[in-house]
Amino acid sequence: MQVTYSEPFHYNSTLEVRYGQSSWEPTEYSVKFTWFTSAGKAARGGEVPAEATSQMFLVAARKGAFSARQIAEHIEQASAILIGMI
């Protein structure tokens, strides 16, 4: 994965969420949940197509992985992004 953007994971700043050019196709993008080895290097794995992330969120929400407050926070953030796109 060629990382073009990263930010600390919201609930644990020692982890990262990364976005960039996928490792399997240079014209596609992926998102990766990154943890680090004891040597401080990013571990392999955790990379999924960017297009799959919204469905992954919905599946986890339906299965009770989030509180109502967490879902509301995500909706608020998504709404702000959409308003910026209009």
pLDDT in tens, the chain (86 residues): 999 999 999 888 889 999 999 999 989 999 999 999 899 888 877 899 999 999 999 999 999 999 999 999 989 999 999 998 87
- The alpha carbon of residue 60 and the mean position of all alpha carbons in its chain are separated, in whole angstroms, by 13
**pTM exceeding the 0.75 threshold for the entire prediction:** yes
Amino acid at 28: E
Buried b (16+ CB within 10 A) or exposed e, 21-44: ebeeeeeeebbbebeeeeeeebee
- Return d(Cα 33, Cα 53) in angstroms, integer: 11
β-bridge mates for residue 6, sequence order = 18
Q: Which residue has the tokens 């998102």?
A: 31
